[in-house]
Structure 1
Amino acid sequence: MSIVSLARFQFAMTTIYHFFFVPFSIGTGLVVAIMETMYVVTKKDEYLKMAKFWGNIFLLSFAVGVVTGIIQEFQFGMNWSDYSRFVGDIFGAPLAVEALLAFFMESTFLGLWIFTWKMVSPKLHVIFMWIVTLASSLSALWILAANSFMQHPTGYTIKNGHAVMTSFSALLKNPQLWYEFGHVIAGAIVTGGIIITGLSAFQLLKKKVENPEFYKKSLHIGLLVALFGSIAVLTAGDLQMKALVKEQPMKFAATEGLYKNTGDPASWTLVAWANENGHKRVWGIDVPYVLSILAYDKPSGSVEGMNAINKQLVKEYGKQNYYPPVNTLFWSFRIMAGFGTLMLLVSLLGLFFTRKKNQLLYRQKWMLWILGLCTFTPFLANTAGWLVTELGRYPWTVYGLFTIKQSVSPNVSVASLLTSNIVYFLLFTGIGITMVSLVVRELGKGPDHEEKVEEQERKAAKIDPFDKEAFE
């Protein structure tokens, strides 16, 4: 266990755990905003009930996302101080805007949304939720502006060994930013839709379901959102991967397990395993023409392999290992794409089997179980996608400028890193258990819980404290 490997593991752990809740809160916030908008338009109380009920799930994800985000920020000063010094002049502006503008706007209007249900008109109240949704997306935009610089540096110059910003607009015009932003927001949309769908399915599987129509309509809305998000995420992902062919060819080749240059046309590898030490493929199953179509939108064209790319990088940047963890990238990409395709199919089939003429899905428990288990698929797909994005940049923290080894804090030790890794792991485990238990608790209350509480409060207010009923 080296300092570098422990520091990388800790940052990966905190980032992955935090990113469980970023698309969770953005996506469920969008669904809640849609539900409340439907209430404002139709005046049907069932949509108001949906917005309040699923809004509680959204609030839990938002709270945990804030806590884990603060923990993640500690990493820059703790374990990656040299990296922070190198990119501090670049990262300062977008991260400051994210904190001072996007997050404050998000938290302020979220507070207004929580506490003004009966104080403002429904039209104004729903605007609060849409502002929260917009602000959360803007928050992601500014953070991704910093991350996109790591993937494709632009608008900078090197002074005294540090990257210094020369153009803020160049940071926003970075094409990598918009590939990432589109992919992340689309992923958040499908995450929100699938979570609402899956949790509704679990509720419908109960023997005694309170207000089943509520969950059926929630499930239908979730499927519609998930379908839109699935189409958007596959489109955004396709555009981003095509850009990698030119911008980060080593990452692209690793996701396809290509050590040698392909022929023309290029075959796509369905499954494979690589000998990473020997820099060669052990076995694999190829499908002709498909990689050319995926990379160039035509059934012709070759793709450069990692061995040739590594030689080019050695000439350009000096002698070191430029091979990323191939097996991890190869299978992470397929997990991401596979679950993305699965969510698209589930959304399509779910909508087909819940149409008014023949609502077969609600009569088949195995179908509901599939939808329920799909609740976990966005988390797996999102995590796999970030593994591809971040591990594929190896050995760089800032592509072509600064390596991982250069980035680690000079004053950390193996003992301190091991201790903090254990502490963070236990902390995240505790937070995760608490989050799941609170979600289960909210689901157990049911959609009519608030009305029951209000009714009890009304009855209590009418009782004379000296009446005999007060002592029953």
Structure 2
Amino acid sequence: FGTNWSRYSEYVGDIFGSLLAIEATVAFFLESTFLGAWIFGWNVLSPKMHALCIWLVAGASNLSALWIIIANGFMQNPLGYVIRNGRAELADFFAVVGNPFAWQQYVHVLSGAFALAGFFVMGVSSYHLLKKQNVDFFTRSFKLGMVFGLVFSILVAVQGHHHAQEVTRIQPAKLAAMESLWETHEDGAPMYLLVVPDEKNEKNAIELFGIPGGLSFLAHNDFKAPVQGLKDWPAEERPPVMLTFLSFRTMVGLGTLMPLLCIWAFLRRNRLTETPKLLKAMIFAIPIPYLAIEAGWVVAEVGRQPWIVYGLMKTADAVSPIVTSQVAFSLVALTLLYALLGAVDIFLLFKYAKKGPAEA
């Protein structure tokens, strides 16, 4: 943050830095310590102690996510601060930690992560069931993944609806961009199932299959509730509409497909080896929750623009006073590094997923 975002660090570092410091000391070190014990403790620790180590890693990972989401929640809905000496300083730690926006985000993120885990387990299990390898073992693992996938794909959708209502209250411009709503509707906003935004002309080129008052009901539980349109804000204070809109539609579309696949799996749970179409579908479905999660984060972050801390500091004011070439070099270098790490990760996932439990 001190390299590309030094002005941001200077302005909100007292708050943001405190949260990340807690994450590092409480969660990150717990993860790294017990992950090391798990990796090197196969022939040293007892089976129960060895299993406990990886459970502690999993718990610490969820704890780490909590503090990171709380930090992001401050960026989305700043609370518990006071402006002093030209910077935001921490005034109420419990207001920051208890930020309702952050906790809704956390439940949404955690539900999506568990749904992803369920789909990953179902996909790997399907690969082995197609090959008739360790059928009993992978039938059990498939059913376990199915339960997680079904429960949490439904939970992430239900909780996402409630989180969207919180977004409506705190970030109404984001909701307008998510739905490509240009005009304010004082007496109920419709929801169109097919929309093609025309950002240049500040309208929608196509609006089909409208549900009268549908958006108002989703946003406020009231078909007649007013919903603000994008034109209520100056053009420079609106988020990028097309990217936010398409990302939201992608997230919702994939999020709808996930429980449908799980229901199909549930209906065929006792005849898995007799349903190769299902098994093949679940293998190809592994990327679906990854894509849905990425699309959701695009909505969260792009839809917040032009603010880096909503209503408090704009992204353009948060960058470091450095030349473009320096930023470009670090961006390209980090992109290449993480692309390499991603390729290695995918290679190892494929390698060990193809092995049976005994080989792995």
TM-score normalised by the chain length of structure 1: 0.72
Deviations 1:242-286 (A, max 9, x none): 011110000011101100023633311222122222222211222
Structure-2 residue corresponding to 1:330: 245
Match of 2:123 in 1: 198
After superposition, what is the alpha-carbon deviation per residue over 1:304-359, rounded to whole angstroms, capped at 9, x for unaligned? 11112x05xxxxxxxx711111111111111111111111111122011113xxx1
Query: Is 1:235–2:158 an aligned residue pair?
Result: yes
Of 327, 339, 349, the residue aligned with 1:439 is 349
Q: Give how far 1:239 is off.
A: 1.1
Kept after mapping to 2: 8 A contact 1:354/1:362: no
Contact kept in structure 2, 1:193 and 1:225, CA below 8 Å: yes
Deviation by residue 1:432-470 (Cα, 9 ceiling, x = unmatched): 2211111121123322216xxxxxxxxxxxxxxxxxxxx
User: Are 1:253 and 2:176 counterparts?
Assistant: yes
Matches within 5 A, 1:398-413: 398-411=309-322, 413=323
From the superposition, tell whether residues 167 and 198 of structure 1 become closer, same or farther in structure 2 (CA, over 3 Å): same
Cα distance in 1 for residues equivalent to 2:357 and 2:141: 11
3-state SS of the aligned residue for 2:351?
helix
Alignment of 1:358-397 (within 5 A): 359=271, 361-397=272-308
| C-alpha displacement of 1:102 | 0.8
Match of 1:339 among 254, 276, 288: 254
Q: Percent identity?
A: 40
8 Å Cα contact 2:128/2:134 also seen in 1: no
SS of corresponding position for 1:137: helix
Superposition deviation, residue 124 in structure 1 = 4.4
Paired position in structure 2 for 1:458: none
Count of matched residue pairs: 359
2:142 corresponds in structure 1 to 219
2:222 aligned with 1:307, yes or no? no
Q: Secondary structure at the match of 1:281?
A: strand
Shift of 1:188: 0.8
Question: In structure 2, what is the Cα distance between the partners aligned to 1:216 and 1:330?
Answer: 39
Kindly provide the amino acid, as one letter, of the partner of residue 266 in structure 1.
A
Distance in 2 separating the partners of 1:422 and 1:107: 28
SS in structure 1 of the partner of residue 278 of structure 2:
helix
How far the C-alpha of 1:123 sits from its partner, in A, is 4.6
1:178 maps onto 2:103 in alignment: yes
Q: Secondary structure at the match of 2:254?
A: helix
- Distance between the aligned counterparts of 1:389 and 1:164, measured in 2? 24
Q: How does 1:244-283 map to 2 (within 5 A)?
A: 244-262=167-185, 264-283=187-206
Which residue of structure 1 lines up, in the alignment, with residue 90 of structure 2? 165
2:3 is the alignment partner of 1:88:
no
Structure 1 counterpart of 2:340, from 430, 452, 472: 430
Q: Report the structure number with the largest CA radius of gyration.
A: 1
Q: 1:123/1:426 Cα in 2 relative to 1: closer, same or farther (>3 Å)? A: closer
| Counterpart Cα distance in 2 of 1:345 and 1:234 | 12
Establish whether residue 108 from structure 1 lines up as the match of residue 33 from structure 2: yes
Query: One-letter code of the match for 2:211?
Result: V
Unaligned ranges ≥5, structure 2 = none
**Alignment of 1:449 onto 2:359:** yes
Which deviations, in whole Å up to 9, do the C-alpha atoms of 1:371-412 show, x marking residues without a partner?
Answer: 11110011110011001111111111011111111111102x
Q: 1:419 pairs with 317, 323, 329, which one?
A: 329
Distance (Å, rounded) in 1 between the aligned partners of 2:257 and 2:117: 15
